Amino acid sequence: MENASLAKYRLGVDIGGTHTDLVLSNLNTREILIEKVQSTPANPSLAVLEGIQRFLDNGIEPNSIDFFSHGTTVTTNTLLEMKGATLGMLITKGFRAIQIVQSQARESNQFELKFKRPTPLVSQKMTREIGGRIDESGTEIEELDKNEIRNAVQYLRLKGATSFAVCYIFSFMNPEHEKCTAEIIKQEFPEAYVSLSSEVLPRIREWPRMSTTMLNAYLEPCLTRYSRDLDLGIKKLGITTPKCFLMQSNGGVMPLDQTGVGGRTVQTLLSGPAAGVQATSHLLGEQQGWKHVVTMDMGGTSCDIAFIQDSKPIEMTEGMIAERRLDVPAFDISTISAGGGTIARLTSANFMSVGPDSAGADPGPVCYGKSGEHPTVTDADLICGFLNPSFLLGGNTDLDKKRAQHAIRKTFSGPMGLSVEEAAAGIVRLINARMADEIRVQAAKKVIDLTTLTLVPFGGAGPVHAAMVAEELHIPRILIPPNPGAFSALGLLCSDVVHDYIRSDINILSKLDPARAEYFFEELENQAINDLKNEGLSAQPYEFIRDIDLRYAGQGYEIKTTLKGLYNTSITQEVIAKVQDRFHTLHHNLHGHSARDQEIEVVSYRVRLQVPVTKQKPIYQVLRDEISTPENTRSVTFNGREFYTAPVYNRVQLNSSIIKGPAIIEQFDSTTVLPQGWKARTDDFGNIIGERQD
C-alpha cells in the first residue's frame, strides 16, 4: 500500500445547485476518491470546506494536496437572482443613451408583442457623464474633466454605490482617461471596486463593451468575497499549496487570488458548466478518440448542453447570459431548466408542465423528506423505478417514495385522471422532450448531423435520462464515463491555465503593415507575460496562440481566424496572404459562400496564453471476460402502464459482457437507465457504451 506521507493529490471541486462534488486524484496512481456534499447556496464555500474535511477525516494529509481547482456558479446565481453590487457608472459626456438603445436588436423572439428588456444593472440616476474625449485613432481631442469625476464619485457614493463601471468612447485605442479615472475613484473612495472597459473588453462596439463591463462591476464584489472566504477556509484546514485555481468559461483556469484583478470576473459566468465540457474534450476526446460528441450535463437544477467537434469544444466570443450581453471567449454552452429538482405543476388549462423553477438543494425534491411539497423530476424517476430509494449516494441518502407518490397523486392524479405511475412517466417524457428539443435546435444552428454524434451524459441525473433522449433524437449511442456524477469536478483536473487578451484596430487586411500587426500581438503578449509574473507563474512553460478577427468590408460581424500554423516567429506579408485565404475558406464553411473579390477588414487581434498543467488521464484496465451478474431486480415503467422486471447491476462489478435493456446500473454518484431495445457494454476505460439493439 502506498505510504500516505509520500502521496500527492490533486483536488477538483464542482459547486452545483443541489450538490457540491469533490474529486481527489492520486498523482501517482491516478485513482480517485469522491465526495458529494449538499450545496449551501447562502455561502457556497461551506459545502466545499465540509467536503474537504471529509477527505481529511479519512486520513488524507492536508499538506499532501498539491493542487486545488474549482468551478462555481457564484457569479451566475448572483446575476440570475439580481443580488450583485450597487453600481455607479461613468461614461463619456453625450452618450447616456447607449444603455437604453443597446444594439436595438431583440435577442429573444422577434414577434413577442410584450417584449421587454431586463431591468438595467445600473439606473440612469446612478450614471454620470464625464467631460473628455478620445477619438477613433486614440488621440486626445478633449482633456479629461477630473473635477467632474470627483463630484460624480462623491455623489454616487452617497447614493450607495460600492462598485464602479467606467466606459469611455474609444478607450480601447487609448486607455489613459479610464486609468486616470480609476486613480481618482480610489483616492475618493478607497474601498470601491472599479471595472474599466479598457481592461474588461478593449474592443469595438460600445454596447457589448459597456454591457460586459457592467457585468464585471456588478459581480466582482461577490466573487472577490467568496474567493477570499474560500482561500482563508482551505488554509485553515492546512492546505497551503500555491496552486489554487478557479475555472473560467473558456475551459481554462486562473489563480484563485486573481479573480478580481483586471476585469476577470466575467470570465467565470460559465465556470461550472465549462468543467464538464473540458473533461469530455480531454479525457474522452484527446485521450480516447471520441471526437464528435454532444454533452448533456443534467444536475439538480439545470441541464447544460455543448458540442465537441474533432475533440475540441465549440467556442463563442459573443453571447448572452440571463438576457445580458457578454462578449468574452467561452465554450458554446446552452443551459435550460431541466434538472432532477425541476418542479412539475398543473397549469390553469389542466395540462402538465415541468419547470422552469427548481426545488434546488433546499428544500429539494419531495422524496428528500424535507419541506418540499411540489413533485419534481427526481420524484418521478423514483416512482418509475429508475432510482433505488435506499441507494442514493451509495446509501448515504434515503428517498421517501411514499411522500413522492402522495405529492404526484395530489397534483396530477385527481385533476387529470392519471395513475401515479402514468403521471410520473409523463413528467419524465416532458423533461426528456425539453432536453431533446434544445439539443435539436442547437445542432441545427451549428449545422451538425446528430446521427454522427455520441451523447455523453453526466451530472447525477444525466445517465438516468440519456438513452431516452438519444432515442428521441436518433442519436445512435450514449457513453457514460466512469464517475458521471462527479465528472465536472474531474474536468477541473484536466484544464490548463488560460488567459485571453484582445485589442481592436481596424484596417484593410491587404494594406496592413505586417509590423503593425506584430506590434499589437507583442503588446498583448507582453501584457500576458506581466500577468504571469504577478501570478507567480513566470517560471512555468507557456504557449501563445494568435487569432485575428476578420470580416468582409461592410459586414456587421467578424469571424475569429486562427494564425496557428501560418507563422514561425513574426507576422510577414506571406502570412497575411495565407490568412486571407484561410478566412475565405472559413467564411464559406460557416455560411455556405465567400467573396474572394471583396476587401477583408481586420477588426481585432487576439492572444490566448496557455500554461500547461499536469492533467488527469483515464485509467486503462482490461476487464474480465465474464458475464456480469445482477445484484437484484426492480420493477420499472416508461409509460406508466407497462411494467418490466429490470435486472439491477452494481457498476463496480461489471465485466465485459453485453447487458440488454431494460436494465438499471447503479453506482455511488449516479444511476444509468437502459430502456427496452437498448444494449450496453463496458470498455477497458470503464465507460459504459449504450447502443440500440439490432
Spans of all domains in the chain: 1-277, 342-429, 497-611, 634-692
Cis (ω within 30 of 0) for the bond into 175?
no
The tens digit of pLDDT for each residue in 416-442 reads: 889 999 999 999 999 999 999 999 999
Digit-coded pLDDT (tens) for 187-202: 999 999 999 999 999 9
3-state secondary structure 301-370: CCEEEEEEECCEECEECCEEECCEEECCCEECCEEECCCCCEEEEECCCCCEEEEEEECCCCCCCHHHCC
pLDDT digits (tens, 9 = 90+) for 661-683: 899 999 988 999 999 999 999 99
In the predicted model, is pLDDT for residue 531 greater than 80? yes
Q: DSSP states of 312-329 as a string?
A: EE-EESSEEETTEEE-S-
Task: Check residue 171 and give its pLDDT.
Answer: 96
Q: pTM for this structure?
A: 0.90
Helix (H, G, I), strand (E, B) or coil at 332: coil
pLDDT of residue 73: 81
Q: Nearest CA to 200 among 154, 246, 157, 164? A: 164
Percentage of the chain beyond pLDDT 90 is 71
Average pLDDT over residues 127-154: 96
In tens, the pLDDT along 543-583 reads 999 999 999 998 988 999 999 999 888 999 999 999 999 99
Asked whether residue 599 carries a pLDDT value surpassing 90, the answer given is yes
CB-based contact 482:279 (threshold 8 Å): no
What's the whole-number average pLDDT of the chain? 91
The pLDDT of residue 337 is above 90? no
Indicate the SS3 state at residue 186.
helix
CA distance 533 to 412: 61
Which residues make beta-bridge pairs with 633? 647
Q: Mean pLDDT over residues 82-88, rounded?
A: 94
Q: Which stretches does DSSP call E strand in 79-159?
A: 87-92, 127-130, 133-134, 140-142
Fold topology of 497-611: Dna Ligase; domain 1 (3.30.1490)
Phi/psi of residue 438, nearest 5 degrees: -65, -40
C-alpha cell at 487: 465528472
